[in-house]
Structure 1
Amino acid sequence: MKWITREHPKIDRIACPWLIRRFIDKEAEIIYVPAEQVLSKAAALNAIPFDVPDVEYSHHKDLCTFDYFISKHQLKDPALLKMAPIIRGADTDRHDLSAQAAGLWAISAGLAYNFKNDEELLEKGMLIYDALYSWASHLYGEKHIQTPAEHLLMEIYNKFLKHKVPGWAKELKEIIQDQLDTNLSVSLGDVSKELDINPAYLSREFSKYFDNLSFGDYIRKKRIDKAIELLQTSYSLTEIAYLTGFSDQSHFTRIFKKHTGKNPSDYRKELKKGKKDTNR
């Protein structure tokens, strides 16, 4: 049976092929192609697509594709159930789900850096997941930490470092700011592709790290913030609408008033009045 997914795998797209070959289809052929070609190639090759949007084998709610494979094929192996939150945490940047998630991410990212050929990367990745399965089967209860100092370090990690903002959120803030500064359009699909993160997951997790706002609401807020800065310049309202990425001045005015309660002209007058009062 043929299985097809996006190229440049790291976590889910290595873990799932491992699961397929070890527990579902030992002779499975795994095919990696550019993201935009997955569905067309799947149809042409009679292959089953996975870990892409809008297919059965993909992320569902808070679960990653590896979780779905386990559920779909009713795999009850206790070791797989122990591995699942580790893989989910590494794949979705939720390192709080498992103490081993950050380590799996680090190893997987390093492996992907060292091996640019996807087939070779999968071959090496199979060894990683074989090892993880052995650990989950036979060594799950063992601890490496021995000294009180090491225990103290782990307590500090769990208390102060465990719930830090994930790297993708920091990178995404920079991407959004760069796009807004250059007046380029910003779409969820584009940034998810640039970050190599599942769009559904990004949409779901976005508000946790961006002022409790959805992706669209956050972009609009940033555009309004930029517009307020530009209202203090000599740019016309039409120019400001263009510079902040709105389709036209009427669209800009409508969204601006929705966010601030005032239309841009009145807001500009108040800004000027405030400056005069300050200078007196």
Structure 2
Amino acid sequence: MKWITRERPKIDRIACPWLIKRFVDSDAEFIYVPFDQVIPQSKELNAIPFDLPSVEYTHYGDQCTFDYIIKKHNLSDPALHTLAPIVRGADTDRHDLATQASGLWAISAGLSHNITNDHELLESGMMIYDALYTWAKHLQNEKHTQNPIENLLLDVYKKYLQDKSGKVPDWARELKEIIQDQIDTNLALNLKEISQSLNVHPSYLSREFSKYFDDLSFGDYIRKLRIERATQLLRDTDHTLAEIAYLTGFSDQSHFNRIFKKHTDQNPSEFRKKLSKSKTDTNQ
């Protein structure tokens, strides 16, 4: 069977193909296309669409598509149920769900950054999830303890010494990459949770953030980027407002409308109408 989803996968759109291939349909074929081509091509290719709004295989509540596949196909393997909160935590930036979630996100973001071909990315991702499954199945009690003194010294260096040179610190560059990778899909970007993956104290990160991000707080900077992206989609695409809300990381259309109006003094539909009128006037 063919399965089709949005291009440039990171978490769920790699984890789900692995789950399907290993436990549902070993002959499954996966296709990655731009968002607006998923539904049309799914009909043309007789493929099952997944991990996008308004299809069966998608997020439900706080559950991601990986969770739905486990439930839909009655997969009872305990190791899969161990993996589920790890995938969900990484996919929704809720790293509190499983201690391994932040590591999965870091590896997945790095792979996506390094590999631009989606099918090559999937091949590498399959190995990652094979390894995770083996860990969940056989190795959960294994430990690899690091020297706590070394960790403490590294933490002190990153927090208090690394930023004294006047250059942009490593944590700021890493944080910018994290934000760029997650801004469109992560509904719950959280500075406190991100700080854990950066090994920087959240209070320090919050205090220093504006120095390197347009003199804005973390929340204001995220909203600014999302509104900029939404403006571009309103101008250059025919996506519905609900689709644009989803693509820019808002929890729902109502939330999107409220934040957009706060930043632009007009709601998205008004903005799009003015753009349309302006284009019409220009062409006359």
When the two structures are superposed, what TM-score results if normalisation uses the length of structure 1? 0.64
Contact kept? 2:245, 2:251, Cα under 8 Å? no
Contact kept? 2:227, 2:260, Cα under 8 Å? no
Moved more, 20-29 or 134-143: 134-143
CA offsets 1:187-226 (integer angstroms, 9 cap, x no match): 5633643x5x5xxxx316x9xxxxxx933223333445xx
Correspondence for 1:189 = 243
Return closer, same or farther for 1:216/1:148 CA change in 2, 3 Å cut-off.
same
By how many angstroms is 1:98 displaced?
1.3
Correspondence for 2:256 = 215
AA paired with 2:251? S
Secondary structure of 1:142's counterpart equals coil
Correspondence for 1:53 = 53
Return closer, same or farther for 1:247/1:53 CA change in 2, 3 Å cut-off.
closer
Q: Does 1:172 align with 2:222?
A: yes
By how many angstroms is 1:159 displaced?
12
Return closer, same or farther for 1:160/1:222 CA change in 2, 3 Å cut-off.
same
By how many angstroms is 1:146 displaced?
4.5
AA paired with 1:111? L
CA offsets 1:206-265 (integer angstroms, 9 cap, x no match): 9xxxxxx933223333445xx9xxxxxxxxxxxxx9xx95979xxxxxxxxxxxxxxxxx
Secondary structure of 1:25's counterpart equals coil
State the alpha-carbon separation in 2 of the partners of residues 143 and 40 from structure 1: 48
> Over alpha carbons, which structure has the higher Rg?
1
CA offsets 1:75-109 (integer angstroms, 9 cap, x no match): 11111111111111111111121111111111111
Moved more, 168-177 or 2-11: 168-177
AA paired with 1:174? K
Secondary structure of 1:10's counterpart equals coil
Residue segments in structure 1 that go unaligned for 5+ positions in a row: 207-212, 228-240, 249-280
Correspondence for 2:94 = 94
State the alpha-carbon separation in 1 of the partners of residues 30 and 48 from structure 2: 10
Q: Does 1:11 align with 2:6?
A: no
Correspondence for 1:275 = none
By how many angstroms is 1:180 displaced?
10
Secondary structure of 1:5's counterpart equals strand
AA paired with 1:190? I
| Correspondences of 1:96-135 after superposition (within 5 Å) | 96-135=96-135
Correspondence for 1:72 = 72
State the alpha-carbon separation in 2 of the partners of residues 84 and 18 from structure 1: 13
Secondary structure of 1:41's counterpart equals helix
Return closer, same or farther for 1:69/1:181 CA change in 2, 3 Å cut-off.
closer
State the alpha-carbon separation in 1 of the partners of residues 136 and 19 from structure 2: 14
What CA RMSD, in Å, does the superposition of the two structures yield over aligned residues?
A: 3.7
Secondary structure of 1:174's counterpart equals helix
List 4+ stretches of structure 1 deviating above 6 A: 150-153, 179-182
Moved more, 143-152 or 7-16: 143-152
